[in-house]
Amino acid sequence: MKSKLSFLPYLIIIIVGVVIAGGSYLYLNGGNYAEEVETKPVHVVNRNLEIYQPIRNRDLKVIDVPATTNIEKYFTEPEKIVGKITTTPLKENDFIHQSILIESEEIEHIEFVTMNVNYGTSGGARPGDIVDIYRVIPSRSEQWSPGSDTKVVAKDALVVSLKSSGGQSSLADGFNPLSEASDGNLETVKLAVDQRFVKGLVPGSVTGESGYVLVTKNHGNNLEIVHDEEIKQIIENKEQENIVEETEETEDETEEEGEKSDVEKIFDKEKQEGEDGDGDDEGGEE
């Protein structure tokens, strides 16, 4: 009897150790055992879209949101979205509000013209602004006459987008044609105009033509969609996830490049130089 009881302290120690170890593991990994939140799928935009751009299947992606999220104001099924036209700029991860979609037939009278501008001739216009376009006609006399030297060539045109000389679009975050962050000065403006005005605007697309001036009549402040706080938070979280994924991809590429041996790097360099040389030879033969 005594020999059996001699093992009892050791048994108790083992049991207590197991309990402590198990409790510690559960405590440290408690997040993994949290009750799973029920979700539901929602279709959102997977890239930036301009005003009056048709939405296609490839422009959508599915994300999961908490089942309790109120999405009554948004289209969430592709059959209600694909083929429709957006009347406001959309950015990646944006939910598609029911108020912003129209049928393509509603803009059949609209055509698009891209014109050369600078910040001054753009009138400081932004996407969604309504503008009139004037053309300054070179004076044939030394005395300038406003009535004879300018004329309205288009009325109530909608500013769709702007681009800088560096190729940055007004859809990009922080776009500012006056700052270096915009990668250059403002260069072009894309307009949605009534078909009857197109002929008078086409010359403005020719390089060197600077006789057109936009006069802003109405700022498109009403284009901004006011999301509920919960939807805003979901969009912000998705944007942060995208940033993290892009950072990780860049780091992985950097690591892969660093892991290449000297021989591989020399081979890559010679291969690139060979391709460049082939291109030069082709150009010379022509």
- Nearby residues of 260 by Cβ (< 8 Å), 6 or more positions away: 268
For residues 260 and 85, the model is more confident at 85
Instruction: Name the domain boundary from 184, 200, 223.
Output: 223
Q: Convert the pLDDT of each residue in 112-160 to its tens digit.
A: 999 988 888 888 888 889 999 998 876 555 555 555 578 899 999 999 9
Q: Is residue 136 part of a domain?
A: yes
The predicted model gives 269-276 an average pLDDT of 58
Q: Is 259 within a domain?
A: no
The answer to which of 97-101, 175-179, 194-198 has the lowest mean pLDDT is 175-179
Q: Are residues 97 and 195 in the same domain?
A: no
Average pLDDT, the chain: 76
Tell me: pLDDT of 176 over 70: no
Higher pLDDT, 79 or 267: 79
How far apart CA 257 and CA 103 sit, in angstroms, is 49
The answer to whether 200 and 186 are in contact (CB under 8 A) is no
pLDDT tens, position by position, 57-111: 999 998 888 888 888 888 888 899 999 999 988 888 888 988 889 999 999 999 9
Do residue 138 and residue 216 come from a single domain?
A: yes
Residue 257 lies in a domain: no
- pLDDT for the residue 233: 76
Residue 94 lies in a domain: yes
Do 48 and 142 fall within a single domain? no
State whether 67 and 159 are in the same domain: no
The answer to whether residues 84 and 62 belong to one domain is yes
User: 198-236 pLDDT, tens per residue?
Assistant: 999 998 888 766 689 999 987 765 566 666 677 767 777
Mark which of 223, 240, 269 sits at the end of a domain. Answer: 223
Which residues have C-beta within 8 Å of that of residue 117, sequence separation ≥ 6? 162, 186, 187, 188, 189, 212, 214
Residue 282 has pLDDT above 60, yes or no: no
Given phi > 0 = left and psi -120 to 50 = alpha, else beta, which region is 162? beta
Is 216 within the bounds of a domain?
yes
Predicted confidence at residue 33, as pLDDT, reads 47
What domain range includes position 141?
109-223
Domain-located, residue 8: no
Question: Looking at the predicted structure, is the pLDDT value of residue 263 above 70?
Answer: no
How many other C-beta atoms lie within 10 A of the C-beta of residue 71?
Answer: 15
State mean pLDDT over 247-267. 61
Q: How confident is the model over 158-166, as a mean pLDDT?
A: 86
The reply to whether 248 falls in a domain is: no
What's the domain count of the chain? 2
151 and 127, same domain (yes or no): yes
pLDDT, mean of residues 16-24:
65
CATH number at residue 89: 3.90.1210.10
89 contacts 128 by C-beta, under 8 angstroms? yes
Residues 114, 216, single domain; the answer is yes
The answer to whether residues 73 and 119 belong to one domain is: no
3-state percent breakdown (helix, strand, coil) of the chain, nearest 5: 40, 25, 35
Which percentage of the chain shows pLDDT scores above 90? 23
Residue 247 lies in a domain: no
Query: Which pLDDT band, with edges at 50, 70 and 90, does 164 fall under?
Result: confident
User: Which of residues 177, 195, 223 is at a domain's end?
Assistant: 223
Question: Residue 168: is its pLDDT beyond 70?
Answer: yes
Shared-domain flag, residues 129 and 188? yes
* Lowest-pLDDT choice from 123-137, 166-180, 258-272: 258-272
Say whether pLDDT at 3 is over 60: no
State residue 283's pLDDT score: 44
| 82 and 137 part of one domain | no
Do 100 and 70 reside in the same domain of the chain?
yes
97 and 130 belong to one structural domain:
no
